[in-house]
Amino acid sequence: MTRKPTRRQSSAPTIADVARLAGVSPMTVSRVINGETNVRDTTREAVNAAIQQLNYAPNPAARSLAGAEQIRIGLLYSNPSAAYLSEFLVGGLEQASRADVQLVIEKCDVGPHEVEVARRLVASGVDGVILPPPLCDAADVIAALAETNTPVVAVASSQPADPVNAVSIDDYQAAFDMARHVARLGHRRIGFIIGNPNQSASLRRLEGYRAALDAAGLEPDEALVQQGMFTYRSGLDAAERLLDLADVPTAIFASNDDMAAATVAVAHRRGLDVPGDLTVCGFDDTALATTIWPELTTIRQPIAEMSREAVDLLVRDIRARRNHRPEPRRHLLLDFELVRRQSDAAPRRRPRDAH
């Protein structure tokens, strides 16, 4: 049974409320909040779940009196999807508030100046850095941060570098599950729009798509695989190329929701019904997936939760180093979910299919 705190509804939750809900002592809650390492993972998860359920935020004055050292975390971002970035920032800011750490957000365009921006952020006094995609796979940035012994958490990298902690999902399995789902609907020609080739997740999703088609006994056709860049514009171009084929696909699976939404727009412009004439599926389950018509069938990637976990991992790493008890690197793999909405259906039986 879930324990409920015996506090007045009108009052702010306290550390004692969190302790009661998690079934631990207030001291244990304090250790989790301060990122101390002498707490079991299961206990830490229970406390974090209680903090999230109660929307508990530590009292900064009390933390100061307790002697907790202030932590500043840098978040370098350069993501073409505003929907993805919005969810990521919400999760990171929420967890930073709960952990009473300062989150410094810095834009860093991928390119020749990315290392300079990363070094400038470290020089400003941050204690650690979070790298969401695409910077999670930026080898030069990770190497520059390693040179300064700065703790790093890479988010959504399918192949995180050795020196960093990481949070991700199984991109290969997620793409496999979606492509298999589309094949089981009866589609035989399934197009795929790849993400940015500089991101490891793009390759893993492509591999998952190909493996699912192979498992379904479908012949590979490289014309059905088109390059995108995780941007809406690139999705428009890729969808046009796919729908210009002599033997058009009856379904298109895009590597993110932005490119899937662009595919729906191209279909509508051509007078195609989605999903009657064309099934369209995405990846991420950002807000965009439910703000277009029809709503997208997609893979739900827990973007905000990944950001929260990244902040938690980084705080623990920083505190462990301050206590001269560094922890081994960790790669957290979070669950994903295939969410079916209105953009997928069995293919229509056309006259030439009957022969």
Q: pLDDT digits over 151-200, tens only?
A: 999 999 998 988 899 999 999 999 999 999 999 999 999 999 999 999 99
Q: What is the predicted pLDDT for the residue at 57?
A: 75
Give how many domains the chain has, as a whole number: 3
Question: Is residue 294 in a domain?
Answer: yes
Instruction: For residue 78, give the CATH number of its domain.
Output: 3.40.50.2300
User: 221 with 87, same domain?
Assistant: no
Residue 121's φ and ψ, nearest 5 degrees, are: -65, -45
Helix, strand or coil, per DSSP, at residue 246? coil
Q: What is the predicted pLDDT for the residue at 326?
A: 85
Q: What is the predicted pLDDT for the residue at 350?
A: 54
User: 184 with 52, same domain?
Assistant: no
> Which residue type does 169 have?
I
Cβ contacts of 186 within 8 Å, gap of 6 or more: 346, 347
Using alpha carbons, select from 41, 58, 23 the residue that is nearest to residue 313.
41
Using alpha carbons, select from 66, 54, 71, 64 the residue that is nearest to residue 27.
66
Q: What is the predicted pLDDT for the residue at 17?
A: 87
Beta strand pairing status for 190-194 and 225-227? parallel
User: 46 with 134, same domain?
Assistant: no
Using alpha carbons, select from 40, 233, 229, 49 the residue that is nearest to residue 134.
229
Question: Is residue 332 in a domain?
Answer: no
User: 256 with 186, same domain?
Assistant: yes
Question: Is residue 29 in a domain?
Answer: yes
> Which residue type does 171 have?
D
Q: What is the predicted pLDDT for the residue at 59?
A: 64
Cβ contacts of 12 within 8 Å, gap of 6 or more: none
User: 273 with 200, same domain?
Assistant: yes
User: 108 with 213, same domain?
Assistant: no
Q: What is the predicted pLDDT for the residue at 286?
A: 95
Using alpha carbons, select from 100, 103, 146, 147 the residue that is nearest to residue 124.
103
Element spanning 185, H or E: none
pTM of the model: 0.81
Question: Is residue 5 in a domain?
Answer: no
Question: Is residue 120 in a domain?
Answer: yes
Domain limits at 113? 69-169+302-324
Instruction: For residue 39, give the CATH number of its domain.
Output: 1.10.260.40
Q: What is the predicted pLDDT for the residue at 349?
A: 66
Cβ contacts of 246 within 8 Å, gap of 6 or more: none
Question: Is residue 349 in a domain?
Answer: yes
For residue 134, how many other CB atoms are within 10 A of its CB? 24
User: 114 with 157, same domain?
Assistant: yes
User: 190 with 205, same domain?
Assistant: yes
User: 212 with 348, same domain?
Assistant: yes
Beta strand pairing status for 165-168 and 152-155? parallel
User: 247 with 161, same domain?
Assistant: no
Helix, strand or coil, per DSSP, at residue 83? helix
| Residues with pLDDT less than 70, the chain | 1-11, 35-37, 58-68, 349-355
DSSP-derived secondary structure letter, 214: H
User: 29 with 159, same domain?
Assistant: no
Integer angstrom CA distances of residue 113 from 122, 138, 229, 349: 15, 12, 20, 53
Q: What is the predicted pLDDT for the residue at 191?
A: 98
Q: How many H helices and E strands in the chain? A: 12, 12
Q: What is the predicted pLDDT for the residue at 60?
A: 58
Q: What is the predicted pLDDT for the residue at 276?
A: 97
Question: Is residue 1 in a domain?
Answer: no
Question: Is residue 333 in a domain?
Answer: no
User: 235 with 308, same domain?
Assistant: no
Using alpha carbons, select from 257, 248, 279 the residue that is nearest to residue 182.
279
Q: What is the predicted pLDDT for the residue at 69?
A: 72
